[in-house]
Structure 1
Amino acid sequence: MRKAFVIASTLLLVAFALQFVFAAVGAFTKPAGDGAYALHSVTGTAIIPVLTLLTTLFAALAKAPGRLIGLAILPLGLVVLQALIAMLANASTDASGTSTALGLTIGGLHALNGIIAVHVVVAVQQAARKLTAPAPADAAPVAVREGEPA
């Protein structure tokens, strides 16, 4: 299960990296129609949530520490926050539908939250890899008596 945890967390990291590429594709598509951000939207609303759930499941099955399991599910909350930020930014336009300073500021938080999410996924992926690393040859085994905390 630990290898599955590494694979899922790596795929999640790749999906987040592609998210930035897809955002750039949307930003540079001319003319920018309704479909300019389609890949970005699908990745953010479907692929990343599914990969986050799989990563969390494999973390639990790999008997990862509770904090790591919690960290593994955190990107799902950040994706929900992303959607809320995007909705707020889009709703913060003037009567003619033109962007406002407030809307652009809120939109900037969308990018910042994405960067935070990537850092979380990098931490999860690194911790997953650490779990699969073999113990050093010179490490002394730790004896644990029954009934004592490990």
Structure 2
Amino acid sequence: MRKAFVIVSSLLLVSFALQFVFAAVVGFTKPAGDGAYALHSVNGMAVIPVLALLTALSAALAKAPGRLIGLAVLPIGLVFLQALIAMLANAFTDAAGARTPLGLTIAGLHAVNGIVAVHVVVGVLRAARQLNRPAPAVARVPVREGEPA
């Protein structure tokens, strides 16, 4: 199960990396219609949450230490926070439907939270890899002189 923890954590990190690519697609698409958001939305609202849940579940099933399980659960909360930040940013628009300066500032927090989430997932993946490493062999020390080691 520890290998599954590493694999799922890796997939979560890849999905987060793709999320930044998909955000750039939205940013560079002119004009940015609703279709520009499709990949970013599907990945952020479906793929990442499922992988975050699987990461936390695999950490528990791998019998990871409690702190690591807690760290593996943290991306679930950060994903939830991402959705809240996005909704809040969209709530601050002017009469023409453009985001206000406050809405743009809140949208910037969406990016910052994404960066935090990536750092958490990197920590989870590093710890999962460490947990998956085989224990070092312990050399047998002779108890009596002349006893084979």
TM-score (norm. length: structure 1):
0.89
- Number of matched residues? 140
User: Matches of 1:59 and 1:87 in 2, distance apart?
Assistant: 30
Residue deviations 1:52-109, cap 9 Å, x none?
Answer: 1111111111100111111111111111111111111111111221221111110100
- Max Rg structure: 2
Alignment of 1:87 with 2:87, yes or no, is: yes
Match of 2:35 in 1: 35
Match of 1:102 in 2: 102
Residue deviations 1:112-142, cap 9 Å, x none?
Answer: 00000000000000000000112234x579x
Letter in 2 for 1:135: A
When the two chains are superposed, the root-mean-square deviation of aligned CA atoms in Å is 1.4
Q: Which runs of 5+ in 2 are unaligned?
A: 141-149
Equivalent pairs: percent with the same residue? 79
Q: Which runs of 5+ in 1 are unaligned?
A: 142-150
Which stretch of the first structure deviates more once superposed, 5-14 or 94-103?
94-103
User: Matches of 1:23 and 1:140 in 2, distance apart?
Assistant: 52
Match of 1:3 in 2: 3
Indicate the SS of the match to 1:81.
helix
User: Matches of 2:57 and 2:76 in 1, distance apart?
Assistant: 13
User: Matches of 1:55 and 1:140 in 2, distance apart?
Assistant: 35
Residue deviations 1:20-72, cap 9 Å, x none?
Answer: 00000111112211111110100011001111111111111110011111111
User: Matches of 2:139 and 2:12 in 1, distance apart?
Assistant: 35
TM-score (norm. length: structure 2):
0.89
Letter in 2 for 1:40: H
User: Matches of 1:117 and 1:81 in 2, distance apart?
Assistant: 10
Structure 1 stretches of 4+ with a deviation exceeding 6 A read none
Alignment of 1:61 with 2:57, yes or no, is: no
Match of 1:135 in 2: 135
User: Matches of 2:16 and 2:60 in 1, distance apart?
Assistant: 22
